[in-house]
Chains A and B, each alone.
Chain A
Amino acid sequence: MNEESSIPFEGERASRSAESVLKVRDLTRLAKEVLENSFPSVIVEGEISNFKRHMPSGHLYFTLKDEEAQVRCVMWRSDAARVRFDVADGMKVIVKGRVSLYEPRGDFQLYAVSLVPAGQGALQLAFEQMKKKLEEEGLFSEEHKKPLPRFPSRIGIVTSLEGAAVRDIISVIGRRFPAVELLIFPVKVQGDGAAEEVAAAIRDINKMSDLDVLIVGRGGGSLEDLWAFNEEIVARAIYASKIPVVSAVGHQVDFTISDFVADVRAATPSAAAELVVPDRMEVTAGIASAMRVIRRAVGQNIDRLELELEKLSHHYALRQPLSLVDQKSQMVDELARRMESQTQFYVETVENKLSAFTKHLNALSPAAVLARGYAIVEDSRGIVSSVRKLNIGDQATIRLSDGTLDSQITGKHEQGI
């Protein structure tokens, strides 16, 4: 290093090797290497002057200075794109970058990779600037805001599939009013490219004609995390949306540019879900009350109809069927009565017959025959039913109803046939 930094005099040239004589480009290259190796990353605070945005390249050129010194700064377009506020002369900023040397001019320069305002937060400043710009353009105007449908049937959600926001929205809508379809358009909600994805999703969803409302948002996070929703591209996509948009970014206290452009701002994703659907219980109560009103309202007509019917029912034509029934029922009674008396008659007949039969049986008994004046003749062998069974002189017993007579046969007269 010492060798190279001491520029050789012309007179010494002969005594030194040819290689040690440097060309300007060698010097600047060496100096550049030294600078780059010594200051690969520095953070410097200073005031901006001579600010220039080169077009069309988009690179930023400025000088950073303080009371005693200044340094030239460059910021390439790719880095400049991440600067979230409008840079201007006189601004106090903190620059992060690396030191190098611009060989064509031999200038030592700071190559800035990030630029934030000193003091006030860069994001806050950017937010205020964007808000002012879009407000002046009329993107927040009340006249442009669309009303939300009372009873949406298809609800679009532009958010991350992984975040808490989507879970909150699903759970609230599922509980409040599940008679809907939720269409989730998954997007990146933070980091590089998030704003572009959100904006593209809003534009794409607008090509689907049958969505009733759109929730765009994410759960809580740092200002940096929520940044996509402060980007101009998202704001313009929301403004251009034909479908009403509810913005639902972060927590209650977080306000984003999206909130101002959206048709309705919800404090949180859960609040957005409550805004887009009614409460099922309230709707049910409303329907029940409509039913009561309808019933009551037609009540008078129904009453009149009933009166009509009442009158008609007294009409002979309507009474006729009833009297027929009466007749039939009378007939049934009659038959029942007749059946009863028939049975009675039968029973009596049987009883009479039985009584007659008993009398007949009595009439056949020997005692009854004897009582009528007949006699039974018996001998030692039993009843004598023929004169031939007894001879003159035989002993016989004559049985009468009240006793017996002992007798001896004294004569015998056989009856001729």
Chain B
Amino acid sequence: MSKASKTKEELTFEESLNRLEQIVEVLEAGNASLDESIKLYEEGMTLAKSCMTRLNEAKLKLKKIQKNAGGALEESDIEN
């Protein structure tokens, strides 16, 4: 995942989980200040909940790739 310049809302599932793991590590190390750990707590909980939601509410998206007349690749939705 080398997608550059992403805002927080655009984190992929993998990026979210990686961040969550990072937060767990920092908090477990126990060096964070109160302020910091409250912030990490909030961020971690938000990430965890959004990941859970994504997992539980996600519906498989199916697409077909085809070459158009010009030779370019086109994506089109297909019914599951």
Q: Is A151 a contact partner of B60 (Cβ separation < 8 A)?
A: no
B61 and A280 contacting across the interface, CB-CB below 8 Å: no
- Contact status B44-A290, CB under 8 Å: yes
What is the bound-complex CA distance between A11 and B11, given in angstroms? 102
> B67 and A294: CB pair below 8 A?
no
Centre residue among A283, A286, A293, A297 by max chain B CB count within 10 A: A297
Q: Which residues of A contact B55 (CB under 8 A)?
A: 177, 179, 280, 283-284, 287
Residues from chain B with a CB closer than 8 A to the CB of A280 are 55
Q: Is the CB of A290 within 8 A of B20?
A: yes
Interface band, chain B? 35 or more
Q: Which of B44-80 contact A (CB under 8 A)?
A: 44-45, 48, 51-52, 54-56, 58-67, 73, 75, 78, 80
Judging by beta carbons under 8 Å apart, are B24 and A186 in contact? no
Interface SS of chain B: helix, strand, loop or mixed? helix
- Measured between alpha carbons, how far is A173 from B60 in the docked complex, in Å? 8
In the docked arrangement, what's the CA distance between A153 and B1, Å?
Answer: 10
* A386 CB → nearest B CB, Å: 108
User: Which candidate, A135-143, A203-211, A228-236, is the interface stretch facing chain B?
Assistant: A203-211
Q: Are B66 and A178 in contact, CB atoms less than 8 angstroms apart?
A: no
A301-B37 CB under 8 A given contacts A184-B63, A287-B51, A293-B24: yes
Q: Which residues of A contact B45 (CB under 8 A)?
A: 291, 294
Whether B28 and A293, one on each chain, are in contact in the complex, defined by CB atoms closer than 8 angstroms, is yes
Q: Which residues of B contact A (CB under 8 A)?
A: 1, 3, 12-14, 17, 20-21, 23-24, 27-28, 30, 34, 37-38, 40-41, 44-45, 48, 51-52, 54-56, 58-67, 73, 75, 78, 80
Interface CB pairs A-B, < 8 A, 19: A161-B64, A173-B60, A174-B60, A177-B55, A179-B13, A180-B60, A184-B78, A204-B65, A204-B73, A205-B73, A284-B52, A287-B20, A287-B52, A288-B48, A291-B45, A294-B23, A298-B37, A301-B37, A304-B34
